[in-house]
Amino acid sequence: MKHIIRFTIAILPLTFVACNKITGSKPSLITDDDKVVYAIGMDMGSKLKTLMLSPKELSVLKMGIDDGAAGAKGQVETGEYLAKVSDLIRTRQKKFAEKEQVASASMLEEASKKEGAEKLESGLIFLTTEAGSGDSPSATDRVKVNYHGTLRDGEVFDSTRERKQPASFRLDRVIKCWNEGVQKMKVGGKAELYCPADLAYGERGAPPKIPPGAALKFEVELLEIIKEEAKPAKKK
């Protein structure tokens, strides 16, 4: 959270000062500098999205940046109110998460109605798409997998399939949805995991790609259970 606050404060002036010099129609992205500045704006916009700023608040934000860039006297005691940034972020992200969870409910409901889908007690919805024939991993095993992760609108946030590079990790070091779901798979099998937010990244999300309160869908292929070699006993 502190990192987000510092980054926001540091980068916002760059974005808005650049925009402040432009009037009239939208500018064309001609030079590399234009494209870099646009990329900064897109990046900041994605981070500000979860704060759900109203049009008035965006105008107030720009006014503060304009005053700061011009060296004008602040209209409020800056230090006093910057100390409240963390509370504002936490409150707004909580509201965003609540709205996202409501919106995600329909995705989870539709997934639960798919033929062969199993809704577990935790809320995870598990669907085997291709049965495996090997062993199933335990909760602490290291596994090698391919996966494709999407948000409720289908946007891809992470995919080894697209990177063409499988991933390996211990199941006790990943989100609860993965720990529970992958244990139900057999080597060589494929499955879809539909993860409610409380089994994934919760109210905080995983910025910038996973918003607060997001339900996630993973298409998973279990390639291997990696047997870790036992450490040699220490000599006495």
Residue-range domain boundaries for the chain: 2-83, 107-226
The DSSP 8-state label assigned to residue 210 in this structure reads B
Question: Per the structure block, which two tokens stand in for 42?
Answer: 């897109």
CA distances, 84 to each of 2, 68, 87, 89, 91 (Å): 12, 18, 5, 9, 11
* Contact status, residue 119 vs residue 194, Cβ threshold 8 Å: no
pLDDT tens track for 89-115: 889 988 989 999 999 999 999 999 999
Query: Strand, helix or coil at 149?
Result: strand
Q: Phi/psi class of residue 137: alpha, beta or left (left: φ > 0; alpha: ψ in -120 to 50)?
A: beta
Q: Of 153, 147, 148, 149, give the one whose Cα is nearest residue 104.
A: 153
Amino acid 169 reads F
CATH class entry, domain 107-226: alpha beta
Percent of the chain with pLDDT over 70: 86
Indicate the burial class of 164 (C-beta count within 10 angstroms; 0-12, 13-18, 19 or more): exposed
Q: 43 falls in which pLDDT band (50, 70, 90)?
A: confident
Q: What is the residue-averaged pLDDT of the chain?
A: 86
Compute the residue count for the chain: 236
Provide the β-strand partners of residue 193: 126, 218
pLDDT tens track for 164-178: 999 999 999 999 999
pLDDT score of 169: 95
Q: Average pLDDT of 61-88?
A: 89
Amino acid 173 reads R
